[in-house]
Chains A and B, each alone.
Chain A
């Protein structure tokens, strides 16, 4: 029995993907939306168990790393283990919360929505575990096309406009990535991600251009500013599950893939400076533009999405440092953003249902106290208040940035926190200091446990800020695993 368990653990990346894709296939042919929801939850929890077990064993307990799987271009490194564990856990929580919306969806589209949600998680997980650029490309495109389809399945016609904008943006990103991968192949004779740091680069300019184009293609899908022109249209009109899939899983999945790719490319002398410059530019632009857009937003979902852009910008700035400390800080910041976004989106999903206006939050703290607590915890973490996960991510950036002489990175942290105080304060003020002017039909059709993820993610956003030892240890081990080849 233990032999089978060890065999299963050795193939954790494949099993993670298999659980998700098998769940997606079953959900797709499921005759009822409730059955599809249950199947989706089961598959995403199985994938989360596989990926979290692999991450804990390798990154925390120091077991032997998981090698390449024969016949498949999958290979786990520290960043992919960390990212896949975070993403699949978030995927399971999103799948549970999706019940709040699928209960109200039509019986025809409900199963499709669950199947596509699992495809989004599978795509980004596949991109994280891929050992070469082809796998990263295939995984990112599967996730992106599934996200587009989820947005297009929304009941409101405005979502079609957003889905088409997403499709155009993603297609341009795909074209850039494809050309970038070909340039990289020409320059180093391989598209293997693990080969990047040690490659004999015959044409440094060509290789740097290739990596730059690939990062730009991924940044388009991660919603990094100024390449996030599709975000407002897609998030503003999409249905609840699509917003959860795109705002929580899609954007953070893209950031984890970028961090992993950069962690392999940065040590190469011919690539390091270019990677750093691209990520610093994208990170700084995301912090500034995302913060301004979040402050000006009057649609709750757009506000959350733009706040996510600003937070992801901080993670990209961390990765731009190019040092192990910088990549560890990027992982901590991405995890903090994931927890805050989960709490915000799932809290809003349960508290105000499909409502989009900020007015829907008025008085929600009294009407739906648990959802109010989740949104408050998220807002405090987004502000970067001490003893929250958001503070931890930014503190790690300041530490790593000052160590490398990047004083301006501290300025970016201040901008993000100031904007966070503004829009986070607005959320809290509406929750507890205003009276509802209209009746909300929030969460009326939610199924049983659909509200649990909001509380779980809110507790994570706060408690892991109090006791961050495990998270910091895992992030440091993940970076060391990439840099040194072993945990």
Chain B
């Protein structure tokens, strides 16, 4: 059991929190959609490792792993559809294409 050694558990928790933060920052700041999804998976992995370090119940860990898998599958499907629809996975290209699709509204 990880929690049996408090020093190891705290070290693991610190590493997990760092992983979560790195993942969140990557998911929010990356310009490439694939990198965003990878960042999200890192964040979820960090949360799972953190939960394990805190000796969370197995049901919570299994549910967390299932939810992470669900997010990964939906993200993969979305990226394929984005690539098909836009021909790109760069956020800036998507935003500029959306701007063309929706021209500026006239002033009221």
| A interface residues with partner B (beta carbon < 8 Å) | 133-134, 137-138, 141, 145, 148-149, 152, 156-158, 160-161, 163-164, 167-168, 170-172, 174-176, 178-179, 181-183, 185-186, 191, 236-237, 298-299, 357-359, 426
A141–B78 CB distance below 8 A: no
Q: Is the CB of A167 within 8 A of B81?
A: no
Q: How far is the CA of A191 from the CA of B16 in the complex (A)?
A: 21
> Which chain B residue lies CB-closest to A187?
B54
Q: How far, in angstroms, from A128 to B91 measured CA to CA in the complex?
A: 35
A466 to B40 Cα, complex, angstroms: 48
Find chain B residues with CB under 8 A from A157 CB. Answer: 85-86, 97, 101
Asked whether A137 lies within 8 Å of B27 as measured between CB atoms, the reply is no
> Which residues of B pack against A, CB within 8 Å?
16-17, 20, 23-24, 27-28, 33, 36-37, 40, 43-44, 46-48, 50-51, 54-57, 59-60, 63-64, 67-68, 70-71, 74-75, 77-79, 81-82, 85-86, 94-95, 97-98, 101-102, 105-106, 108
Q: Which of B37, B47, B70 has the most CB of A within 10 A?
A: B47
Is the CB–CB distance between B78 and A186 below 8 Å?
Answer: no
B92 to A: closest C-beta gap in Å = 11
A164-B48 contact given A145-B74, A178-B60, A237-B98, CB 8 Å threshold? no
Pick the contact of A179 from B50, B70, B81 — CB < 8 Å?
Answer: B50
CB pair B60 A185 closer than 8 Å: yes
Q: A5 to chain B: closest CB distance in Å? A: 34
A156: B residues at CB distance < 8 A: 101
> A152 to B108, Cβ gap below 8 A?
no
Listed A/B pairs (15) with beta-carbon separation below 8 Å: A134-B63, A138-B67, A141-B67, A152-B81, A160-B81, A164-B78, A168-B27, A171-B43, A171-B75, A176-B47, A179-B16, A181-B56, A182-B50, A185-B57, A299-B105
Residues of A within 8 A of B64 (CB): 137, 174, 178
Most buried by B among A152, A171, A359: A171
Q: Which residues of A contact B67 (CB under 8 A)?
A: 137-138, 141, 174, 178
**Bound Cα distance from A181 to B85, whole angstroms:** 38
Indicate if the CB atoms of B60 and A175 lie closer than 8 Å. Answer: no
Q: Which residues of the other chain, B, contact A185 by a CB distance below 8 angstroms?
A: 54-57, 60
Known: A157-B101, A158-B98, A298-B108. 7 other contacts (CB 8 A): A145-B71, A161-B82, A167-B78, A171-B71, A175-B46, A236-B102, A237-B102
A residues near B44, Cβ cutoff 8 Å: 171, 174-175, 178
How far, in whole Å, are A178 and B17 apart by their CA atoms in the complex? 12
Q: Name the distance in Å between A363's Cβ and chain B's nearest Cβ.
A: 14
Q: B54 touching A160 by the CB < 8 A rule?
A: no
For residue A149, which residues in chain B have a CB less than 8 angstroms away from its CB? Answer: 74
Contacting pair A181 B51 (CB below 8 A)? yes
Residues of A within 8 A of B57 (CB): 134, 185, 191
Whether B40 and A168, one on each chain, are in contact in the complex, defined by CB atoms closer than 8 angstroms, is: yes
Collect the chain A residues with CB atoms within 8 Å of residue B85's CB: 157, 160
User: How many angstroms from the CA of A79 to the CA of B24 in the assembled complex?
Assistant: 32
With A163-B78, A174-B71, A359-B106 known as contacts, the answer to whether A134 contacts B60 (CB < 8 A) is yes
Expressed in whole angstroms, the minimum distance between the Cβ of A246 and any Cβ of chain B is: 15
Q: What's the Cα separation between A357 and B27 when bound, in Å?
A: 31
Residue of B at shortest CB range from A141? Answer: B67
For A156, A174, A182, A186, the residue with the greatest tally of chain B CB atoms inside 10 Å of its CB is A182
Quick check: A172 and B78 within 8 Å, CB to CB?
no
Q: Are B60 and A191 closer than 8 Å at their CB atoms?
A: yes
Contact between B43 and A182, CB atoms less than 8 A apart: no
Q: Which of B28, B59, B105 contacts A168 (CB 8 A)?
A: B28
Given the interface pairs A161-B98, A164-B82, A181-B51, the reply to whether A172 lies near B40 with Cβ below 8 Å is: yes
Inside 8 A of A138's CB, which chain B residues have their CB?
A: 63, 67
Closest to B36 in A: A168
Give the docked Cα–Cα distance between A158 and B82 (Å): 9
| Contact in complex: B105, A134 (CB < 8 Å) | no
Which residues of A sit under 8 angstroms from B56, Cβ to Cβ? 181-182, 185-186
Q: Which residue of A lies closest to B50 (CB)?
A: A179
A236 to B98, CA, bound (A): 11
Which chain A residues border B47 with CB–CB below 8 Å? 174-176, 178-179, 182
Q: How far is the CA of A181 from the CA of B74 in the complex (A)?
A: 24
Interface centre among B24, B59, B78 (most CB of A within 10 A): B78
With a cutoff of 8 Å between Cβ atoms, the chain B residues found around residue A141 in the complex are: 67, 70
Give, as a whole number of angstroms, the nearest-CB distance from A482 to chain B. 24
CB distance from B103 to the nearest CB of A (A): 10
